Amino acid sequence: MIVKITWNFKLKITQFLAKGLFMRAYDVIAKKKIGKELSDEEIKFVVEGFTKGSIPDYQMSALLMAICIKGMTKKETATLTLCMANSGDIVDLSSISGIKVDKHSTGGVGDKTTLVISPMVATIGVPIAKMSGRGLGHTGGTVDKLESIPNLKTSFEKDDFINIVNEVGVCVAGQSGNLAPADKKIYALRDVTATVDSIPLIAASIMSKKIAAGSDAILLDVKTGSGAFMKTVEDSIALAQAMVDIGESVGRNTVALVTNMDIPLGNAIGNTLEIIEVVETLQGSGPHDLTEISMILAKEMSILGGKENPEELLKSSLTSGDALNKLSEMVRAQGGNQEFVLDTSKFDVASVIYEVKISETGYIYKMDTEGLGIASSLLGAGRETEGSDIDFSAGIMLKAKTGDKVQAGDTIAIFHTSDENKISAAEEKFMSSLTIKGEKPEPVQLIYARIDKSGVKRLRD
């Protein structure tokens, strides 16, 4: 029997295929391998299939490698981001009044700006419902720093999280276990298949979690330099532009700053040490670079939150003590002992304090910031794997930074650790991360570019 296939039947089959009901991962891989744009349906098919287990690791690995080599269009990247964001919980912050602003840093050494700017911005009426991560490798994590305050909690039920923001104006919590689970599974695969260094994949990974976290506007602090994932300004600008494009495409007002991570931010590297430096900065006596960049980031967040000309209000939050009081309120609301914020001498001090002395005279011409972060981790301040324990009291206090003149015999850093056996390896790594020359280097530039929906604006100090 011969069946005559009508035009209408052919059309229905075409529509059926287009909806992904007969899709194969093989065909999606082959399409991207030759550089063709994937449809929304194809991207949704592979993300859902891989997350649920119907698409195996080896096929997803092949697709990720094809994306690394051939790239993705803005539309593809936005679709991938939304699919990953929608793979788990989407936090509903609508019960918090006002424009909720989130801030994300791509990671650095000594970067404690979240804990400086969040109370500052909350003080002037912009609600901050912030989800942060833990540290891994050479970069520190905001959640780890906060948890160095005794009894402080960073894990909350959604209603408790929202109640703290409504009552205090700010809450900084750990990321939900079911926030963008597709991203977590895809990233784990990227990490072992040499497919991490793809701007579309990095942008989608970061922004999927930011979108799922529910804020109305997003400020991105994209680090560049030796202590950052992106080592060059151009790559950092490209990543920032990709993330801004994603945010704007899904209706989130998004701004990015490309900031310097060729030098640690502030003088403290390590959890308790950084909390103490946060308090000093909120008291108006913090390091110049940390204070300056915090003011710039706080201004950007405040404007995203609907505040016009917020500079004077932000400065006043420091001089009046309101920002420090706001941090103290947040610590109390999150179960922590606020007395440690009001009097940092209450923190435990590391049992071993060691002065690092320089053996030559000259200028610190360059610092390998990643190396300094590793040295701090070697002292016990960081974790090598996700489940590793950390020593909250461990870390490094810098006494000299890039551009400073040093004399042979000067103390250039103070190590804090609970195990003197860790000093030797940490000191070797620390010293190998410094370049000393007879000439003074050019002044360090803090911010290289600002990116918003109108494009890239390069900045000069």
Q: Could you write out the DSSP letters of every residue in 410-433?
A: -EEEEEEES-GGGHHHHHHHHHHT
Catalytic residue among 183, 235, 245, 452: 183
What is the chain's mean pLDDT, rounded? 91
Quick one: 256 and 358 in the same domain?
no
Q: Assess whether pLDDT exceeds 90 at residue 241.
A: yes
Q: CATH code at 422?
A: 3.90.1170.30
Catalytic residue among 32, 104, 184, 307: 104
Least confident segment among 11-15, 30-34, 269-273: 11-15
Quick one: 249 and 387 in the same domain?
no
Residue 165 belongs to what domain range? Answer: 101-181+190-344+448-458
Kindly state whether residue 92 falls inside one of the protein's structural domains: no
**Any idea what DSSP says for residue 351?**
S
- 252 part of the active site: no
Task: Give the pLDDT of residue 2.
Answer: 41
Is residue 82 within 8 A of residue 212, CB to CB? The reply is no
Least confident segment among 198-207, 268-277, 385-394: 385-394
Nearest to 86, CA basis, from 123, 44, 57, 127: 44
Kindly state whether residue 35 falls inside one of the protein's structural domains: yes
pLDDT confidence of 387, banded at 50, 70, 90? low
pTM (two decimals): 0.89
288 membership: H or E segment, kind and range: helix 288-304
Phi, psi of 453 (to 5 degrees): -65, -20
CA distance 131 to 104: 9
Quick one: 312 and 414 in the same domain?
no
Residues 438-446: what's their mean pLDDT? 92
SS3 content of the chain, % helix, strand, coil (to 5): 45, 15, 40
CA distance 17 to 292: 55
**What b/e readout covers 426-436, taking b as 16+ CB neighbours within 10 angstroms?**
bbebbbebbeb
Is residue 103 within 8 A of residue 130, CB to CB? The reply is yes
Quick one: 301 and 407 in the same domain?
no
Quick one: 154 and 227 in the same domain?
yes
pLDDT confidence of 6, banded at 50, 70, 90? very low
Task: Give the pLDDT of residue 248.
Answer: 94
Quick one: 297 and 427 in the same domain?
no
Task: Give the pLDDT of residue 140.
Answer: 64
Quick one: 357 and 311 in the same domain?
no
Least confident segment among 55-69, 359-373, 376-390: 376-390
Task: Give the pLDDT of residue 385.
Answer: 61
Task: Give the pLDDT of residue 14.
Answer: 43
CA distance 333 to 372: 34
Is residue 103 within 8 A of residue 145, CB to CB? The reply is no
Q: CATH code at 266?
A: 3.40.1030.10
Is residue 413 within 8 A of residue 396, CB to CB? The reply is yes
Task: Give the pLDDT of residue 138.
Answer: 57
Kindly state whether residue 94 falls inside one of the protein's structural domains: no
Kindly state whether residue 83 falls inside one of the protein's structural domains: no
- 190 part of the active site: yes
Tokens for 368, please give them: 């390998």
Task: Give the pLDDT of residue 459.
Answer: 87
Catalytic residue among 176, 198, 205, 376: 205
Quick one: 296 and 394 in the same domain?
no
Kindly state whether residue 233 falls inside one of the protein's structural domains: yes
Catalytic residue among 32, 103, 134, 190: 190
Q: Assess whether pLDDT exceeds 70 at residue 277.
A: yes
- 458 part of the active site: no
Quick one: 362 and 420 in the same domain?
yes
Quick one: 25 and 139 in the same domain?
no
pLDDT in tens, 292-309: 999 999 999 999 999 999
Residues 448-459: what's their mean pLDDT? 94
Task: Give the pLDDT of residue 394.
Answer: 96
pLDDT confidence of 322, banded at 50, 70, 90? very high
Kindly state whether residue 66 falls inside one of the protein's structural domains: yes
Catalytic residue among 209, 307, 416, 450: 209
Nearest to 386, CA basis, from 225, 180, 174, 121: 174
pLDDT confidence of 390, banded at 50, 70, 90? confident
pLDDT in tens, 106-156: 888 889 999 999 999 999 999 999 988 765 555 668 888 999 999 999 988
- 176 part of the active site: no
Q: Assess whether pLDDT exceeds 70 at residue 16.
A: no
Quick one: 338 and 365 in the same domain?
no
Quick one: 261 and 331 in the same domain?
yes
Number of domains in the chain: 3
Residues 224-248: what's their mean pLDDT? 92
Q: Which residues contact 21 (CB under 8 A, 6 or more apart)?
A: none
pLDDT confidence of 197, banded at 50, 70, 90? confident
Residues 45-73: what's their mean pLDDT? 96
Higher-scoring residue by pLDDT: 218, 140:
218
352 membership: H or E segment, kind and range: strand 352-357
Least confident segment among 172-186, 272-286, 331-345: 172-186
pLDDT in tens, 327-357: 999 999 999 999 999 999 999 999 999 999 9
Kindly state whether residue 89 falls inside one of the protein's structural domains: no
- 104 part of the active site: yes
pLDDT confidence of 13, banded at 50, 70, 90? very low
Kindly state whether residue 442 falls inside one of the protein's structural domains: no
